[in-house]
Structure 1
């Protein structure tokens, strides 16, 4: 059992968001759905849902309009290949999501994500400060991270 679970507050889109995320990540599934009971104004709509994304548990709540997502918290995805970066970037920005700088994006529900190839931290932590600096400068100019460009600037 996972000790800490990310809990996401939505304004009526909890089920749509859950299903969207489960469709994007491998090894993902809906775990449980609790709906508002009969007689409630929101009867039949999702109250709370629990789901796994690549083995990590999340919960989604339809809590109403009083709280919105901000970039102050984001979900980071570690990617091994450019294909993975492209997949997550495309799927998470589809339908109204917005690309941001330096590998960050906001999905159509307002949740912020970082799509990070495993090469990026390795290159940024290189003992050669000039190389790390070139990589940082290149990354700062990117939206979606492009591994080949980072490797090229790292090489000089």
Structure 2
């Protein structure tokens, strides 16, 4: 078991925790799948011996995948925000999530095939939204509001006051 004091437990439908952990670990750097624990006793979700939890790390952060069954499902109230450094990284993460059974949403949000929400967020967008020139920040936010995947060049043009076609 990990020695971290705070671990995010992510509830999956039965048998999906390892599949998701493997996908995430293959997509993001500083990520891996760790120990698997089988249920020591029968429980409402599975018989004794079933795969109960999977430890995994994504971008250096520890998680515990729980094969809890269909009782609870993910929603947008919690999302995973990944800050990206350039358009190539933004495109790579976005496409990997969306093109592998996920779905696009608005303003840099997408869902993976397990229903978890991800915000693939360029650092350039965060900088534009925090611009001390509030008119520039407003233009950047208004541009973002028209997007699914964030386009850094368009955000920068809007921030600079250039007309967006």
Q: Does TM-score exceed 0.5, indicating one fold?
A: yes
Whole-Å Cα distance in 2 between the matches of residues 65 and 91 of structure 1?
25
Q: How many residues align?
A: 156
The equivalent residue for 1:6 is 8
* TM norm structure 1: 0.92
The equivalent residue for 2:67 is 62
What's the RMSD between the two structures over aligned residues?
Answer: 1.8
Runs ≥4 residues deviating over 3 A: 36-45
* TM norm structure 2: 0.88
**Where in structure 2 are the equivalents of 1:25-64 lying within 5 Å?**
25-36=28-39, 42=47, 45-64=50-69
Note the C-alpha offset of 1:2. Answer: 3.2
Whole-Å Cα distance in 1 between the matches of residues 125 and 93 of structure 2?
16
Structure 1, unmatched stretches of 5+, are none
Distance change >3 Å, CA 34–CA 84, structure 1 → 2: same
**Where in structure 2 are the equivalents of 1:98-109 lying within 5 Å?**
98-109=103-114
In the alignment, does 2:99 pair up with 1:94? yes
Deviations 1:26-83 (A, max 9, x none): 1211121112469996566421010111211011000011100000100100111111
Structure 2, unmatched stretches of 5+, are none
